[in-house]
Structure 1
């Protein structure tokens, strides 16, 4: 059990075969969300009623819940936009209601006009949805006779709730290292699988196996896109949340490697494509190229472990240098356009992974100079 949080907005109906133990594990994984949902609405309601003296302060806890469920895991700017979207929806909607009254047709008009105003203010996406939700709620609920100015009080309540929700997201944030490590581990396992599939194709002179490895390499692009989005999210969590400041150094190793992983996957695609072309043309593959490709796969596995454990990458770097040396030294005896390209891609991939491990350009040039 890894303790990962599952945001409520991603909850889906699970298969009927799910056991009671599975459900307990799912509940335990959501502990962070449950604490936020328990604390933020209660504090928001307390502030609105006891400090500001509002009688119908239901918008304070509602806004807190909206921000927590919609904003957990989002970037800081998006989270702030949701807070503003909820409050603006309340203010604009209530001002419109004071003019046209309440009713079925008025509800439609309030929602549309609130969305228009929010859009003109630059609010979009999920924040725009929350503005519309707020407009519906305030239209449907009639304020008490002595509740004061509903436009002002409900706007303040929504702002209080939104800020409480935002505070809980920042004070009890997701674990950014664990989030990005999960993405990186998945991606690197797939990259290692592509490299091993390519090496097997070389060993067995199987062009179809090389094509299959190429197809798997091409399928990795969405994973890179997801990793880049996760990197942006977790970097903001580590920057904004005091609870995660101590993780910034470890997180920096992941963030610095994202572009290098992208480059390595592109190299792996070219490597698999050149291998497929070599085998389709019946060219003999030097045994050493297979060994070099296997060494790359082993290095990828080690890098994944070292990132997770915040290790020093020494073993991985040596594997990468060995892979590049084996590939380059394999060429003089049997060099064709395809085998030369394969050796070049092995070296290029080794360089990208050395960059991912934190090596500098000068260090890489020195270690991969085999002349």
Structure 2
């Protein structure tokens, strides 16, 4: 009864974010907010008070671009930012000197700059910033007595980019915590999927299997987000001396995430096969029900023991037992769907066992019944 109640609770829809949840989410972003404030202020101060630029608007803009860049891009972004700005100001300045500023001149500057940049082979941020630089040069009239706008714009981009990187190094995100926050909910959702599949088998209800399949399919967005986070925190752990001690732990979580992705894909196939099996009126033994329940319990223990080797060993035993029961359930009349369900139990268990640190050789020995 307790197991069935837990299954029903696990299949309940996830609650929507409350106002309090949103405040908590913002509070957890305090490092990002502090980095943004410090980097933009520092970039503007350096460009204005140290370099003497009177219109140093692009320095804080460049800092924001680097700080909010996607995973694994910041080091490359600084180079692309500077290259794009340099090319844009060069082309824009030459064109403005030749044709002046105005409505039609702006259109011509943008078109010619975009064409030249495309011809040069630049892409991504470099292309965007080249065109943006040309637009700003064509529309923003320099203050009287201001320095060469091309040079000041280039220096502002450099200052802003360096300030953004400095804040990443000095105030880095907690790499281990941030990747753990992404990985653990995925494992909890995987448990919900498996409990739903087990309940479908127990009740002979293909609709429950379909619900579990829908839940598993909906996890792909979370998986992609977690993968992006893993790339981001790996970059932070490699760049910031403050987080160097977390590099090994971050690498472990990243490896676990790849196996979890595979396990969720296997869960989708498992749910689909169980739904097909039930719609065709095929039956499975009590051992198969119990096998998938043990699979869910093994995932739960694995999630609970991510930082505890003893619990990981317990999780491994549960997963191995789940595979044994699934294979033993194939005695008697064998159908394609029953064989496929047992095969998916083994595949999913193998993915989680890999994540727990078991090698392929160990896996073959433990699962060779």
TM-score if structure 2 supplies the norm length? 0.82
> Deviation digits for residues 279-305 of structure 1, max 9, x if unmatched?
223222110111110111122222223
Q: Any gaps of 5 or more consecutive residues in structure 2?
A: 1-15
- Residue 298 of structure 1 corresponds to 297
Q: Report SS of the residue matched to 2:305.
A: helix
> Deviation digits for residues 25-44 of structure 1, max 9, x if unmatched?
46533422332233223333
- Residue 192 of structure 1 corresponds to 191
- Residue 95 of structure 1 corresponds to 94
Question: Structure 1 residue 360: deviation in Å?
Answer: 0.5
> Deviation digits for residues 186-214 of structure 1, max 9, x if unmatched?
32222222211110111111122223323
> Deviation digits for residues 95-154 of structure 1, max 9, x if unmatched?
332332222222333333333344444443455444433333333322234333222232
Aligned partners of 2:22, 2:215: CA distance in 1, in Å? 33
Contact 1:36 1:172 in 2 (8 A): yes
Classify 1:65/1:91 alpha carbon distance in 2 versus 1 (closer, same or farther; 3 Å). farther
Q: Report SS of the residue matched to 2:141.
A: coil
- Residue 368 of structure 1 corresponds to 367
> Deviation digits for residues 52-87 of structure 1, max 9, x if unmatched?
44444443334323433x426562355333454345
Contact 1:176 1:237 in 2 (8 A): yes
- Residue 176 of structure 2 corresponds to 177
Question: Structure 1 residue 315: deviation in Å?
Answer: 2.0
- Residue 75 of structure 1 corresponds to 73
Contact 2:137 2:149 in 1 (8 A): no
Is residue 283 of structure 2 the alignment partner of residue 279 of structure 1?
Answer: no
Classify 1:337/1:46 alpha carbon distance in 2 versus 1 (closer, same or farther; 3 Å). closer
- Residue 164 of structure 1 corresponds to 163
Alignment of 1:102-181 (within 5 A): 102-181=101-180
- Residue 4 of structure 1 corresponds to none
Classify 1:261/1:24 alpha carbon distance in 2 versus 1 (closer, same or farther; 3 Å). closer
Alignment of 1:181-260 (within 5 A): 181-260=180-259
Tell me how large the CA RMSD over aligned residues is.
3.0
> Deviation digits for residues 242-287 of structure 1, max 9, x if unmatched?
3322211111122112332232223222322322232223222110
Aligned partners of 1:262, 1:29: CA distance in 2, in Å? 26
> Deviation digits for residues 300-354 of structure 1, max 9, x if unmatched?
22222333x4655222111111111222233325544332332222122111110
Q: Report SS of the residue matched to 2:238.
A: helix
The alignment covers a number of residue pairs equal to 352
Contact 1:75 1:232 in 2 (8 A): no
Q: Any gaps of 5 or more consecutive residues in structure 1?
A: 1-14
Using the TM superposition, name which of 111-120 and 189-198 deviates more. 111-120
Aligned partners of 1:229, 1:39: CA distance in 2, in Å? 25
